[in-house]
Structure 1
Amino acid sequence: MRVAVVSESFLPTVSGVTTSVCKVLGELRRTGHEAMVVAPFGAPDSYAGFPVHTVPALSYRQFPVGLPNPRVLGLLADFQPDVLHAASPFLLGAQGIAAARRLGVPSVAVFQTDVAGYAHRNHLGQATRLAWWFVKWVHDGADLTLVPSEASMRDLRRIGVANLDRWTRGVDLDGYHPNNRRDPRVAALRQTLAPAGEVVIGYVGRIAPEKQVERFRALRGLPGISIALVGDGPSTPLVARALAGMPVTWLGRLAGPELAAAYAAFDVFLHAGTEETFGQTLQEAHAAGLPVVAPRAGGPIDLVDHGTDGFLFQPDDDADLRRHVAALVADRSLRHRMGEAGRRAVLGRSWENVCGTLFDYYQRVIDEGLARRAETLVPLAQRR
């Protein structure tokens, strides 16, 4: 199979879209397929042995946004893919889907943007309708749109997008593992984060408006805790002001073994943002054996079994957030039981399994495209 990936986000930018695309490329290489990538300017020349082609981009909130470029059609025509994968399509992805359609190449679009949440937070008002119109226009061009959660499925069905199916995300079950707690590096980090044996409340992700990390202020005055934040981003000054005087350790952006060690050093994972279409870090926390506290909104609804492997708090209720965290802080055995349940919940979500499902979707749209072509050829043959 030859797969062209057009991604709105790619290395060196770290995001859920980037992580997903990199894992897919790794599995394509491992399973013997061919691929190419089109991404915003600044990306490396290759990844997993596949060529990466870049197009001009503008910067928005520290993210490069790829701009439509005439090269895209030519790149796809030269590569002759069997299928196009549009990762979180926006401007660049929309062009990729249109170019694929022009070339007769089937396309799979992966939806990863909470348009409704973004519009609400930015008070877009009537512009929200335009935003949803654009989403529908982009995804109507694709042969299949894959969504990460039931909440996303409802949103896209509501605006009339057809040809939808579910695709979750994988998680590194070996890298994020409860046994990491035995690592001497984790013990050293614990000593830094919790020198008096505090319960460590951890977060991993961008420090950006949509993540609402400033809501950790709801934990102010809760005894026996320390807070550890992994990540960086444009909201860092705002969050620092909101959490001033609280026991917070800023760990910065981490990856690989250092990130795995950070998860292992946490006792509870807290995600406060209400705009997640999925919530990859929640899966990573569960893989590491942590109980998760997250809002009852978007992707977390599908990832957290309330009362079993964590708690879902009311999205706009900081008191409810605090109450659930306090319950876990006060009960070590509850943390342990929920952490074990979280680990069990993700055991079937290895990247190998999840990408296998994705490749089945690729084959489905390829086969459907071939069937449509065959149907059009039969009447032509009959007329002759």
Structure 2
Amino acid sequence: MKVTIVAESFLPHMNGVTNSVLKTLEHLRAQGHQAEVITPAGSLADSRRQRPVPSRYCGFPVRTVPSVALASYPSVRLAPGPVASIRRMLHDSAPDVVHLASPFVLGWRAVRAARDLGIPSVAVYQTEVPSYAARYQVPWLETRLWEHVRALHNAADLTLAPSSFSMNQLQQLNISRLALWRRGVDTSLFTPARRDPQLRARLAPNGERIIGYIGRLAAEKQVADLKVLADLPNTKLVIVGSGPLRDTLRTELPNAHFPGFLTGGELAGMLASFDLFVHPGASETFCQTIQEAMASGVPVVAVGRGGPVDLVDSSHTGWLYAPNDLSDLRAKVSDLVYDDTKRLAFASSAHRSVQDRSWKVIGDQLLAYYAQVRSRAYSG
């Protein structure tokens, strides 16, 4: 099979969309398939810092199209433009399937181009963009953005949702041809064995319990909600990541530790060294970092909306708190931070719960969905 992945986000910027695209490419390579990536071009600033969009990944070509920066979040690149240019690219490469990774702007062009050429498409719903509208001071746009989501996904041959919450959300929008496709977790990288006593001693020299967050430092992640935890006795708040709100959050949380953006073993060691992982974002369609925390033997406190509802077994692997109820967030965190026996029991349950969620299993499911839409297209 030959697959064209049209990705709204790609290297050098790592996030949930980029990570799932990379894992998909690695699986396609391992299984002997062909692939290419079409993604927005990077910024001049990234090129000057020697962080360009790579020309290849896993041996597969990466093709870029002109892009502009999102004004309120410069590292996010948008690729508006004519459908015709994407249609020419797809015509030249002649894929069997077009994979739309978190489609919105570039993906809207690609789904129409694929439809014009009769190429089946699989759209992976991964980002709840319309809900960001209020957080970026444009609440009047939310309804129009949901209309765009409906039109885009109904134009695709199949939409894959990452969680039961997202499935229900898309069904309520009257989007047809839906299926569930979750995410895998690398249990060889994210493991309790990476817990680092020396790192813990540096972060919490007085034996404080470490409460950690990992993710983008952007409005939609609601990291500022963690201020409600800032004065919990005998705790240390660690906030890992980068984004447009980093300086603001450092000012609002002066006693928190901000190690910046981490990857690979450094990230896994930091995560395994937490006592508790918190995630306050209410707009998550999945939330990969929750799975990574659980694989690391770290219990989770997350908002009870979106992807976390599927991932956190409340009262066994962590706690879900009521959306927008920050007193509930504080209570749930306190319950685990100050009860070592309960926290360790939750940690053990969390670790066991993700051991069968390999990326190979997830990749094989995706290939089956590709084959499904391809067969459907050939049969008329």
Give the TM-score range, shorter chain: over 0.9
In the alignment, structure 2 segments of 5+ residues that lack a partner are 43-52
Alpha-carbon distance in 1 for matches of 2:131, 2:346: 29
Greater CA drift, 64-73 or 363-372: 64-73
Query: 2:115 matched to which residue of 1?
Result: 101
Are 1:16 and 2:26 matched, yes or no? Answer: no
Alpha-carbon distance in 2 for matches of 1:140, 1:122: 27
Query: 1:234 matched to which residue of 2?
Result: 244
Alpha-carbon distance in 2 for matches of 1:125, 1:217: 25
Equivalent residues of 1:148, 1:278 under 8 A apart: yes
Query: 1:55 matched to which residue of 2?
Result: 65
2:96 aligns with one of 79, 82, 98 = 82
Query: 1:295 matched to which residue of 2?
Result: 303
- For residues 250 and 95 of structure 1, do their structure 2 counterparts lie closer, same or farther at Cα, with a shift above 3 Å needed? same
The residue correspondences of 1:1-384 to structure 2 (distance < 5 A) are: 1-42=1-42, 43-60=53-70, 61=73, 62-69=75-82, 70-122=84-136, 124-181=138-195, 186-244=196-254, 246=255, 248-372=256-380
Query: Offset of 1:91 from its aligned partner?
Result: 1.3
Equivalent residues of 1:214, 1:238 under 8 A apart: no
Matched positions, count: 366
Alpha-carbon distance in 2 for matches of 1:12, 1:368: 35
Query: Offset of 1:315 from its aligned partner?
Result: 1.1
Equivalent residues of 1:55, 1:67 under 8 A apart: no
Secondary structure of the structure 2 residue equivalent to 1:200 = strand
Query: Offset of 1:339 from its aligned partner?
Result: 1.1
- For residues 7 and 297 of structure 1, do their structure 2 counterparts lie closer, same or farther at Cα, with a shift above 3 Å needed? same
Identity across the alignment (%): 44
Query: Offset of 1:125 from its aligned partner?
Result: 4.4
| 1:151-180 Cα distance to aligned partner (Å, 9 max, x none) | 211221112110011110111110000111
RMSD, matched Cα: 1.2
TM-score (normalised: structure 1):
0.93
Alpha-carbon distance in 2 for matches of 1:88, 1:19: 12
Alpha-carbon distance in 1 for matches of 2:362, 2:260: 29
Secondary structure of the structure 2 residue equivalent to 1:89 = coil
In the alignment, structure 1 segments of 5+ residues that lack a partner are 373-384
TM-score (normalised: structure 2):
0.94
Partner AA of 1:250 in structure 2: F
Alpha-carbon distance in 1 for matches of 2:5, 2:130: 26
Q: Give 1 or 2 for the bigger CA radius of gyration.
A: 1
Equivalent residues of 2:250, 2:258 under 8 A apart: no
Alpha-carbon distance in 2 for matches of 1:342, 1:222: 24
Alpha-carbon distance in 2 for matches of 1:78, 1:221: 59
| 1:79-138 Cα distance to aligned partner (Å, 9 max, x none) | 111111000111111111111111111000001121452234345444322111111111
| 1:229-269 Cα distance to aligned partner (Å, 9 max, x none) | 1101001122122213x3x1111000011011111111100
